[in-house]
Amino acid sequence: MKGKISVLFMAALMVIFGMSTVFAEAGKPNIVILATGGTIAGSAASDTATTGYKAGAIGVNALINAVPEIKDYANVSGEQICNIDSKDMTDAVWLKLADRINELLSKDDVDGVVITHGTDTLEETAYFLDLTIKSKKPVVIVGAMRPATAISADGPMNLLNAVRVAASSQAIGKGVLVAMNDEIDAARDVTKTNTLATSTFKAPELGVLGYIEDGTPVFYRETTRRNTINSEFSVEKVTALPYVAIIYGHADGDKALIDAAINAGVKGIIYAGTGNGSVHKADEAELAKATTLGIVVVRSSRVSNGAVIAAEQSYTNEHFLNGGTLNPQKARILLQLSLLKTHNLTDIQRIFDEY
Ligand code: ASP
């Protein structure tokens, strides 16, 4: 009877104080796994199918239960944020994720967060969070290229490794990390490089941060670019992001698309130019028109390596900004967050130089 009463008393305490980890094993970090869908939670009709499956079919608890070894490294709990194919990612999901992660990481009893995610837009979500999470605690994003039902599915080992990284003191203060295929990359630098291969996530230009070496996360370098607690951006109380379009440069140009973007009410344009952010002359006049209307134009590149820096004098005269080494999809996110704060071109160029 006495035992029963003390259990009831403990349960009441847990309800009152929200001490959900009171029974967590001491000594292990408390990691929350936030699931958003993707192939890692995908289910196919056969164990040999690696395309034509439903992404985001399996719930967070099934994902966690499929890898019981996780519990050797951390006390884990799961939350389902959404269950989508990441090709359908939206600002609304990003804002919800950022809010929830900031809330979780402000608690003393949460030591890190792992996010399961589809691979298509994983690098974008990672960079958005890198700029908007206000904590040094580890935030690790992970996905898989093969559905959970496939022979040699890569999801279980990737998930285990992501938890190992999130549980590692070495990961503190390194910004948002991507853990895939035994490698650890910085959110800013990583990109999906192969449509099908499990070794798709690379930071080909600026390099891998570290490896998971036979189960142990080992870091060799870190980014010098501003992120997380050193970021000036906040999305607290933000309900939508400014409309920024990406226009892809190519032979012949296509000024009709730039016109369409202007008419659709964009606040910014990322021009994925040829070479060092080179702008087709047919497009240049249209982009110059955009800047006179107050639309911020940033030159980026369709080339996957190298920085976009100042080039033609006419670009400077037309107030086009330089996108640096960010790929167009990440330049879009940085410009969206910049436009929440400022429309001053000097300030926005400073942001592109620092992040
Ligand atoms: N289309 C899937 C997604 O991004 C692909 C994947 O997860 O690998 O959700």
Segments in 192-327 forming alpha helices (H)? 255-264, 281-292, 313-317
Q: What is the CATH classification number for the domain harbouring 165?
A: 3.40.50.1170
Residue nearest atom 3 in ligand 1 by C-alpha distance: 118
Residue 47 has pLDDT above 70, yes or no: yes
Residue nearest atom 7 in ligand 1 by C-alpha distance: 118
> Ligand 1 centroid vs 163 CA: distance in angstroms?
20
pLDDT at 171: 98
> Ligand 1 centroid vs 43 CA: distance in angstroms?
12
Tell me which of 230, 261, 285 is where a domain ends: 230
pLDDT at 15: 41
Each residue's pLDDT tens digit, 291-304: 999 999 999 999 99
> Ligand 1 centroid vs 145 CA: distance in angstroms?
7
Look at residues 270, 272, 267, 315 and name the one whose alpha carbon lies nearest to residue 293.
267
Q: What is the mean pLDDT of the chain?
A: 93
The burial class, CB within 10 Å (0-12 / 13-18 / 19+), for 170 is middle
Say whether 39 is catalytic.
yes
Residue 271 has pLDDT above 60, yes or no: yes
DSSP secondary structure letter of residue 243: -
Each residue's pLDDT tens digit, 292-350: 999 999 999 999 999 999 999 999 999 999 999 999 999 999 999 999 999 999 999 99
State whether 160 and 290 are in the same domain. no
Q: Higher confidence at residue 46 or residue 230?
A: 230
State whether 207 and 307 are in the same domain. no
Residue 17 placed within a domain: no
State whether 257 and 202 are in the same domain. no
Place 53 in a pLDDT band, splitting at 50, 70 and 90: confident
pLDDT at 26: 77
Best residue among 63, 119, 123 to mutate for probing ligand 1, ranked by most atoms within 8 Å of CB: 119
Residue 239 placed within a domain: no
Per-residue pLDDT, averaged over 119-145, amounts to 98
For 263, residues 6+ apart whose C-beta sits below 8 A from its C-beta are none
Residue 4 has pLDDT above 60, yes or no: no
Q: Six-digit token pair at 69?
A: 């070894």
**Residues at CB less than 6 angstroms from ligand 1:** 38-39, 55, 85-87, 118-120, 143, 145
pLDDT at 45: 86
Residue 15 placed within a domain: no
> Ligand 1 centroid vs 55 CA: distance in angstroms?
6
State whether 71 and 198 are in the same domain. yes
Residue 197 placed within a domain: yes
Per-residue pLDDT, averaged over 159-164, amounts to 98
Best residue among 82, 120, 154, 193 to mutate for probing ligand 1, ranked by most atoms within 8 Å of CB: 120
Residue 187 placed within a domain: yes
Residue 8 placed within a domain: no
How far, in Å, CA of 319 to CA of 335, rounded? 15
Exactly one of 21, 36, 39, 274 is catalytic; name it: 39
pLDDT at 24: 65
Residue 353 has pLDDT above 60, yes or no: yes
Best residue among 36, 50, 86, 199 to mutate for probing ligand 1, ranked by most atoms within 8 Å of CB: 86
Place 8 in a pLDDT band, splitting at 50, 70 and 90: very low
Q: What is the CATH classification number for the domain harbouring 303?
A: 3.40.50.40
> Ligand 1 centroid vs 227 CA: distance in angstroms?
26
**Number of structural domains, the chain?**
2
Residue 150 placed within a domain: yes
Domain holding 287, by residue range, is 244-354
Place 52 in a pLDDT band, splitting at 50, 70 and 90: confident
pLDDT at 16: 40
pLDDT at 13: 41
- Ranges assigned E (strand) in 24-111: 30-37, 75-84
pLDDT at 23: 47
Per-residue pLDDT, averaged over 194-213, amounts to 97
Residue 195 has pLDDT above 90, yes or no: yes
How many C-beta neighbours within 10 Å does residue 152 have?
9
